[in-house]
């Protein structure tokens, strides 16, 4: 390299190998001395993005700072910012370096980026923010830091979900409690799902048990949540006795023994072949009889989901078993 002119060095620094420049590759792998050499002697472009691989996924248009932040290389992050890298430069899907650090739980990098004017509210192409992904991944200390720095606790994504939904879908109860203390609102997303219902269809009993005892949860929503959690225990956890316990609680809450008015289920339509002509049970005796027939239990779970979601039922049936697909949608891409 010593016999190369400055122009030749700059040209070499911008050449891509498998979609990535030398600076991007060095930043991704934490090679600080190489990064410094490229920036100081080759005048490498600190903003030039390229393709980089994380967890088997190819991220397009990733700037070097994004790659270093995602991989947890704080010394490289410092060097890039010192040499003029833009702290808010994004990938092709609008993911910032701060979001990348939040995704993989790199607290010190998160702090450093925010101290250097990283914008916490820049969302990716799905409208999913740094706080949201921290909640979904269960990074409590990062979520706490972002909240202390004023992150919008009620920001909504393109699909209408909030950070509370992400806590509910991932089982992050401690973070959810922090959000509620910061005046997070229990709202429905674009599919009509509240955080409580989201926890039910993903099977996070810790979230469900916490929220059903909160005064802010309406009685009907508590009933719906327990019914859906029972369905989840049937078709996700394969726990029929657990499902029966939640369905029994839902029925007792729907039809209390005191003078509280019963919550009547909507009138059911005619039985259909798709559900083997079965119908939802309405009486405790009918419910108890189901336990002897696993097939009837599974059919009841389908009926419960169909009653609550209709055409959207399939989305929620698939939500929990496919976490990697969910992460790709919410994460680095």
Looking at residue 281, what is its pLDDT?
84
Distance CA 112, CA 230 (A): 44
Q: What is the per-residue pLDDT for 70?
A: 98
Once rounded to an integer, what is the mean pLDDT over residues 303-325?
57
Q: 8-12, 41-45, 112-116, 307-311: which range is least confident on average?
A: 8-12
Q: Phi first, then psi: give them for residue 52, nearest 5 degrees.
A: -145, 145
Higher local confidence (pLDDT), 266 or 27: 27
**Whether pLDDT at 146 is above 60:** yes
Other beta carbons within 10 Å of 92: 13
Q: Label each residue of 211-235 as H, E or C.
A: HHCCCCCCHHHHHHHHHHHHHHHHH
Q: In this predicted model, which residue has the larger pLDDT, 167 or 55? A: 167
pLDDT of 321 reads 38
DSSP string, 135-195: HHHT-HHHHHHHHHTT--TT---TTS--HHHHHHHHT-HHHHHHHHHTT------TTS--H
pLDDT in the model for residue 193: 95
Spell out where the chain has E strands.
50-54, 57-62
Q: Which of 36-45, 158-167, 298-307: highest mean pLDDT?
A: 158-167
Lowest-confidence region among 104-113, 217-226, 240-249, 275-284 = 275-284
The residue length of the chain stands at 333
CA angle 255/261/265 to nearest 5° reads 55
Q: Higher pLDDT residue, 153 or 295?
A: 153
Q: Is 150 exposed, middle or buried (0-12, 13-18, 19+ CB in 10 A)?
A: exposed
Rama region for 30: left / alpha / beta (φ>0; ψ in -120 to 50; rest):
left
pLDDT (tens digit, 9 = 90+) per residue, 262-306? Answer: 777 776 666 666 666 677 888 888 889 888 899 999 999 998 998
- In the block, tokens 């040499």 appear at 83
Structure confidence at residue 330 (pLDDT): 47
Residue 79 and residue 35 in contact, taking contact as beta carbons nearer than 8 Å: yes
> In the block, which residue shows the tokens 């992400």?
166
59 pairs with which residues across the strands? 52
Residues 6+ apart with CB under 8 A from 37: none
Average pLDDT of the chain, as a whole number: 87
Could you tell me which CATH class the domain 1-119 is placed in? mainly alpha
Q: Where are the domains of the chain?
A: 1-119, 124-217, 219-306
CA-to-CA distance for 153 and 167, rounded, in angstroms? 12
- The owner of tokens 């996700």 is 236
Alpha carbon 242 to chain centroid distance?
26
Q: How many CB atoms lie within 10 A of CB 156?
A: 18
Are 62 and 302 contacting, i.e. CB atoms less than 8 angstroms apart? no
Asked if residues 266 and 200 have their Cβ atoms less than 8 Å apart, the reply is no
Q: Dump pLDDT digits (tens) for 107-145.
A: 999 999 999 999 999 999 999 999 999 999 999 999 999
The confidence score (pLDDT) of residue 309 equals 80
Q: Which position has the higher pLDDT, 273 or 104?
A: 104
CATH number of 124-217: 1.25.40.20
Over residues 15-32, mean pLDDT: 86
Q: pLDDT band at 315, cuts 50/70/90?
A: very low
Residue 6's pLDDT band (cuts 50, 70, 90): low
Pair 61, 50: CB distance under 8 Å = yes
pLDDT, residue 78, reads 98
CA dihedral sign, ordered 164, 170, 173, 174: negative
Asked whether the domain spanning 124-217 has the same topology as the one spanning 1-119, the reply is: yes
Higher pLDDT, 204 or 42: 204
- pLDDT tens digits, one per residue of 162-204: 999 999 999 999 999 999 999 999 999 999 999 999 999 999 9
Both structure tokens of 222: 């508590």
Question: What percentage of the chain reaches a pLDDT higher than 70?
Answer: 83
Is residue 325 scored above 50 in pLDDT?
no
């Amino acid at each position: 390299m010593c016999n190369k002119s400055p122009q030749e060095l700059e040209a070499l620094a911008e050449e891509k190998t498998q979609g990535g420049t030398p600076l991007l590759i060095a930043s991704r792998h934490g090679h600080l001395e190489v990064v410094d050499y490229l920036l100081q002697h080759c005048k490498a472009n600190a903003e030039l993005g390229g393709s980089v691989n994380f967890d088997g996924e190819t991220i397009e248009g990733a700037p070097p700072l994004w790659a270093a932040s995602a991989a947890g290389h704080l010394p490289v992050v410092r060097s890039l910012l010192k040499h003029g890298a833009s702290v808010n430069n994004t990938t092709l899907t609008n993911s910032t370096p701060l979001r990348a650090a939040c995704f993989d739980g790199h607290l010190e990098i998160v702090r450093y980026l925010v101290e250097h004017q990283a914008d916490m509210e820049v969302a990716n192409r799905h409208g999913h923010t740094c706080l949201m992904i921290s909640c979904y991944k269960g990074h409590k200390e990062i979520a706490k830091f972002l909240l202390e720095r004023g992150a919008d606790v009620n920001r909504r994504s393109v699909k209408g979900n909030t950070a509370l939904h992400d806590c509910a879908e991932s089982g992050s109860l401690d973070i959810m409690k922090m959000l509620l203390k910061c005046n997070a609102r229990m709202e429905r997303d674009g599919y009509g799902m509240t955080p409580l219902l989201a926890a039910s269809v993903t099977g996070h009993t810790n979230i469900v048990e916490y929220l059903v005892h909160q005064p802010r949860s309406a009685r009907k929503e508590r009933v719906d949540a327990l019914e859906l959690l029972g369905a989840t225990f049937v078709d996700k956890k394969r726990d029929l006795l657990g499902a029966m316990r939640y369905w029994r609680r839902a029925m007792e809450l729907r039809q209390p023994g005191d003078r509280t008015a019963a919550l009547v289920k909507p009138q059911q339509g005619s039985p259909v072949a798709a559900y083997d002509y079965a119908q939802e049970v309405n009486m405790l005796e009918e419910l108890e009889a189901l336990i002897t027939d696993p097939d009837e239990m599974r059919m009841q779970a389908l009926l419960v989901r169909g009653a609550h979601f209709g055409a959207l039922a399939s989305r929620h049936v698939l939500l929990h078993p496919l976490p990697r697909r969910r992460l790709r949608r919410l994460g680095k891409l």
